[in-house]
Structure 1
Amino acid sequence: MGHHKLREDKTCLNCGNEVHDRFCSYCGQENTETRHSFHYLFRHFLEDFVHYDGSFWKTVKTLLFKPGKLTNEYLKGKRASYVAPVKLYIFLLFIAVFVPGVISFFENQPPNEFIETSENESELAREINNSGVTYGLKDFKDVKSVAQLDSLQRVKPEGERLNRLEYKMIKKIVELKKNGTDKEFQEKAYDMISRNFSKVLFIYLPIFAFWLWLFHGKKRWYYFDHGIFTLHYFSFLLISNTIVAIFGFLLGLLGDNDFVDLTTMMFVLICGFYTFFYFFRAHSKVYGENKWISRLKGFCLFIINMFCILIVMTIYLIIILFNVH
């Protein structure tokens, strides 16, 4: 950091001794200005990884294309050549949260403006009832406005009404769909899942490590070891999710057509398949068990974690949905 401005005061802020050069001869602290702009802080944060820490790109390359190697190297004590697991995960988590926000900003989607209806609510309810629409969780897509939803909720018998949770959920979905087509709503839902995926991973991280601990020998492996494997695998998932988001955004610049939709779908499928393969490969490389035993454990772990993370994701998205205005 030799290009930062030196302080005029020669008293070390850390130990109080006199500083004769750029660095204090007693404690080693650099005698530079302590107050900086946000631009400096942001640049300094990136430089710590990309420029001054030359191991960052080596770590990312190894993480993406050599499943399990980072974990093995770290557990063997070879740690100076790569970014530490926690440091790597925190940085990639920042990127995974930052990038979707930037993408949403540039997409410049129109705001949700709910259109008031002037029709009589009882007439709306009667019209929907006469059309033969069955009111329930599976058929709420036929309700076009909150007014219709409220009307149906009032005219239906007590036993056929939605409970409080069902009503709030359907109301939020109707509001989100108000100004768009089903396809636009699906895109919004996918965007919501994509933007919150990294946050759900962070919540689920200790649970994933717990399942690994449960499936492997307690004498040979510590929970710490499983935590390192989890940090590296989740770092890979964060990079993958970010790459998919960027790729989808760039393709979206070409317009809304079948080619873009097909290419995006194919890319997502390829990334999904590689993620599936990556877990089994990394699991086999790190735990070094018999091939079939490793595959069986890996398959069980994959299914269990997929089920659990879907539950966590669903709960998290419901909470988010109820807080969207």
Structure 2
Amino acid sequence: MGGMEAAGELVTGALLGRAIDRPDAAHAHGAHMCLNCGTALIGEHCHHCGQPGHVHRSLHAVGHEIVHGVFHFEGKFWRTLPLLAWRPGDLTRRYVAGERTRFVSPMAIFLFSIFAMFAVFSWAGVTPSTNFKTGGGARPLAAIEEDRQSVLKDRQDAIADRDKLAAGDPDRIDEQERIDKDNIKLKALDIAAAPLRQVGERPEAEINYTGIAFIDHGIEKWHKNPSLMVYKLQSSSYKFSWLLIPLSLPFLWLLFFWKRQYKLYDHAIFIIYSIAFMSLLYIVLSLARAVGVSSGLLQVLGLVVPFVHITRQLQQAYSLGWFSAIVRSVLLAHFIGIVLALFLVILLAMGATG
């Protein structure tokens, strides 16, 4: 499974590199020959390979090209973001129609938003905790034994206190009640520990949860070290976030399969821009939560805004009436649940078999 994780990182890196490495990633200031292919330059860029006529060679230029290539602050980012937020369907339609250089590419803003979302989630404490009492290889049986030892010690102290008291002392009755309660607790803990002890006595290879070897192996891994498995799940969800695009594509196609003017490419651009907006939205909501905004308000916004945004994007991108867009949004909301479930199953399967 290390190979699968490496493949996920490779694909993510390739997508990011493709999104950033564009011909307009630096300013050109005129040169006689292209430094990449040797073609005589006519304008600021080589008309043969697209490389800028002038290449920077300074540390300042590295930072400049990262900012310019990823965010395109020099116009593109600020043209893209308002449209993505308020007129996402127009942005989708215009990009599909061929207006490419005016806007940040869908994949660039998708990758940026996904990476930023995971970073903000981690900073704001939104990600699930990887701190489990039974983590680090300990089983629930260890926790039961720990409680049992505590109860045993309390019972021994109660017996010692009782024996120090005279037979007719009222406090002796209280100590005896304390002993009786501890005896009940010990019986309950022994009952809870019995099946776990039986499992622990068998060799690991003989543990059989479902009868399916790789599933049993995965369950055993979660059972032994849940902290590590949750961490791997978080890491995989970041590395394989791009899987949401192909998983979503068939469901969006189903909503328009009889309309031949819309191609799979059009649906893919719709999905990429939509996921990018949702990621940016949840970044904003996470930051709002961190500064103390009401959780009730954030929950309402987290449910209402995505539905409104998807409806507007459908209505604008596919030239739908509002009723048709709302109906498709309801269907798409159910499809999104299926896509997220499939995505989670894939991540769990990769973690279980790794």
Aligned residues with identical type, % of pairs: 17
Provide closer, same or farther for how the CA distance between residues 208 and 127 of structure 1 changes in structure 2, counting only shifts above 3 A. Answer: same
Which of 327, 340, 343 is the aligned partner of 1:309? 340
User: In the alignment, does 2:303 pair up with 1:281?
Assistant: no
Change (3 A) 1:11 1:223: closer
Contact (CA 8 Å) 1:200, 1:313: kept in 2 or not? no
**More relative contact order, 1 or 2 (CA 8 Å, 6+ apart):** 2
Q: Residue deviations 1:241-283, cap 9 Å, x none?
A: 33344445x35xxxxxxxx6x9346424422321122112211
Q: Does 1:206 align with 2:256?
A: no
Residue 14 of structure 1, aligned match among 36, 56, 73: 36
- How does 1:167-316 map onto structure 2 within 5 Å? 168-169=218-219, 171-173=221-223, 175-176=225-226, 197=237, 199-216=239-256, 217-248=258-289, 250-251=290-291, 263-264=294-295, 266-316=297-347
Pairwise CA distance, 1:71: 1.1
In structure 2, the partner of 1:139 is none
Residue 73, structure 1, aligned to residue 94, structure 2? yes
Alpha-carbon distance, 1:306 to partner: 1.4
Whole-angstrom CA distance in 2 between matches of 1:210 and 1:161: 34
Q: d(CA) in 2 for partners of 1:235 and 1:209?
A: 15
Distance 2:269 2:239 in 1: 18
Matched, 1:29 2:53: yes
- Change beyond 3 A, Cα 1:88–1:273: same
| Deviation at residue 80 of structure 1 after TM alignment | 4.1
Amino acid at match of 1:210: P
Distance 1:300 1:82, change over 3 A: same
* Counterparts of 1:161 and 1:86, CA distance in 2: 42
SS in 1 for 2:225: helix
Contact 2:84/2:91 (8 A) holds in 1: yes
AA of the residue aligned to 1:286: A
Q: Could you tell me how far 1:94 is from its partner in structure 2?
A: 3.9
Q: Mark the CA change 1:15 to 1:317 in structure 2 (over 3 Å): closer, same or farther.
A: same
Give the number of aligned pairs.
276
For the Cα contact (< 8 Å) 2:218–2:352, is it kept in 1? no
Q: Quick one: structure 1 residues 11 and 160, their matched pair in 2 at CA, closer, same or farther if it must change by over 3 Å?
A: closer
Shift of 1:15: 4.7
**Any gaps of 5 or more consecutive residues in structure 1?**
5-9, 136-142, 179-187, 252-259
Q: Which residue is 2:77 aligned to?
A: 56
Displacement of 1:316 after TM fit? 0.7
Corresponding residue for residue 168 of structure 2 = none
Alpha-carbon distance between aligned partners in 1 of 2:187 and 2:65, rounded to the nearest angstrom: 62
Seen in structure 2, the aligned counterparts of structure 1 residues 127 and 91 have a Cα distance that, compared at 3 Å, is same
* Local SS of the residue matching 1:68: helix
The TM-score normalised by the length of structure 2 is: 0.57
Name the amino acid aligned to 2:219: M
- Look up the SS of the partner of 1:131 in the other structure: helix
Equivalent residue number for residue 87 of structure 1: 108
Describe the shift of the 1:28–1:285 C-alpha distance in structure 2 as closer, same or farther (beyond 3 A): closer
Structure 2: how far apart are the matches of 1:66 and 1:30?
Answer: 36
Post-superposition shift, 1:303?
0.8
Q: Contact 2:92–2:273 (CA<8 Å) still a contact in 1? A: yes
Distance in 2 of aligned mates of 1:18 and 1:289: 49
CA apart distance, 1:151:
2.3
CA–CA separation in structure 2 for the residues paired with 1:149 and 1:103: 42
In the alignment, residue 346 of structure 2 is paired with which amino acid? I
The code of the aligned residue for 1:88 comes to: I
- State the shift of 1:56 in Å: 0.2
Q: Give the 5 Å matches for 1:103-122.
A: 113=136
Q: CA deviation at 1:233?
A: 0.7
